[in-house]
Structure 1
Amino acid sequence: MFVRRAYVPDSLQPPTTEHWPFSVPAVAELVEDGLEFTHPVTFIVGDNGTGKSTLVEAIAEGFKLDARGGRAGARTGKADPTKTPLGEVLRLETTAQGSRMLAGPRLKKKGFFLRAETAFSMTENLGGVPGYWEENTAEMSHGEGFVAVFQSMFRDPGFYVLDEPESALSFTACLHLVGLMHDLGESGAQVVCATHSPVLAATPGADIIEAGEHGLRRVKWAELELVDHWRRYLDNPDTYLRHITDDE
């Protein structure tokens, strides 16, 4: 592993938690108590607005990955020096291996930040660029392009951060990503992933952290609210849809 803990030092604590993102319970808890990483693969799961993307963006920045998405040690286009509000104050406690990687030459850094908002443009523009993937992903469907990115960029022991990678993936492609993340964890890499997908969150051996109004809590896969909702919906969709489609 490369990162043991994400935290905000006392000297950088925000003066108030009334403003976004520090008003979000999950972010507020990280600011107050920090967040420990205990497994090679960690999922942060939660509904929209619970702060999971805010957390993983700041964690990526803490490992010197561009918050727009991309590799460690290389940038495409003009670098954006602006950090997210949480990224400005968040720090990472690294392992010896993580410290060596961060202190080493830029091109020796192994890592990648994939975020849904920018991944589509990356698949269209980086195919064939040295250091990225050989396939012409601009000619593929979004799902096929994502899989090509995963296969090319997520294979060396490094620090990988993913923000909702399931956005373009079919069920089968999600299973492919599960296998890839599991193999990365077994190989000495570290993965931190924000997701809505019960398929991805079921990756064997992963640590699952649920973000919500309660803040952050570690849960088992079967106890996730996400899993409970999907089970009930797939068992009987009408129990949900009648509240949406009923005009009375």
Structure 2
Amino acid sequence: MLIERAYVDVPQGEGTAENGWPWTVPCVRQLAEEGLAFPAPVTFLVGENGSGKSTLAEALAEGFGLDSYGGSAGYKYASSREASLLGGLMRFDPTREGRAMVRGPRVRRRGFFLRAETAMEALNGERRSNRLSRSPDEMSHGEGFLLAFRERFAQRGLYVMDEPEAALSFSSCLELVGLMDDLGRSGAQIICATHSPLLTALPGAAIVEVGEHGMRSVEWAELGLVDHWRRYLNDPRAYLRHVLEG
């Protein structure tokens, strides 16, 4: 692992809802007040759309030196994109193993930020820099994701993912779970914002539920998304009758 805790270096007088966005987001306010601990090599951020989990993931990536647009440490594919307020204020308490990477110059940092909506453009940038063996344009969306997982998620570093399951089949998600486990065991660290009950079932991973309450650690079986999927697969009509006419 590289990071034990993330926190925000909040300017005096800021960090409350009265200061506007992003402090109006409950999980961001809690981050400013308490920080966020990482007790395991793999951490999942889980919550409804609009809960702030993607905001957290982006800020963590940017604070570490990964381009918030997506891609590797030290490379900018969206050079005109300014640093976000939250990402610019993000700070880390490193582990002993991560101290040189976190506190040293950015050129020492290793990792990748994969966000679903910009992934293909970022991966094409990786190909132009000869960091991928094939062009993602020659593949399906899901195949491009898997190529990045296999070839760019291969060394000790920080890997931040925002809804990677968006382009993946069931079997591809299982492959990603195996890769996450291998990375975590090798000394790398993974932070993943997701809606997937499959990914979050990785044994030993930490799960942080994000919502109106802010952030809280939960077990996989306690997740609302796990309960809803279980109920839906058992009886789809119990849910569909609320959204289908007739």
Q: Structure 2-normalised TM-score? A: 0.92
> Is the partner of 2:241 in helix, strand or coil?
helix
**Residue deviations 1:54-113, cap 9 Å, x none?**
001111111111111111133346363x12232132222222332311454655421111
RMSD (Å), alpha carbons: 1.8
**Residue deviations 1:217-248, cap 9 Å, x none?**
1111011001011111111111111010135x
Equivalent position of 2:114 in the other structure: 114
Give yes or no for contact 1:12–1:89 (8 Å, CA) kept in 2.
Answer: no
Equivalent position of 2:186 in the other structure: 187
Equivalent position of 2:83 in the other structure: 83
1:145 & 1:74 partners in 2: Cα distance? 19
Equivalent position of 2:5 in the other structure: 5
Gapped runs of 5+ residues in structure 1? none
**Residue deviations 1:144-201, cap 9 Å, x none?**
0100000001111111111111111111110000000011001110101100111111
Equivalent position of 2:50 in the other structure: 49
Q: How does 1:1-248 map to 2 (within 5 A)?
A: 1-11=1-11, 14=14, 16-18=16-18, 19-76=20-77, 78=79, 80=81, 82-104=82-104, 106-127=106-127, 129-130=129-130, 132-247=131-246
Deviates more, 1:166-175 or 1:103-112: 103-112
The aligned amino acid for 1:25 is P
Gapped runs of 5+ residues in structure 2? none
Deviation of 1:23 after TM superposition, in Å, equals: 1.3
Sequence identity (%): 54
Work out the number of aligned pairs and report it: 245
> Is the partner of 1:243 in helix, strand or coil?
coil
Q: Structure 1-normalised TM-score? A: 0.92
Deviation of 1:127 after TM superposition, in Å, equals: 2.6
1:12 & 1:134 partners in 2: Cα distance? 48
CA shift in 2, pair 1:119/1:10, >3 Å: closer
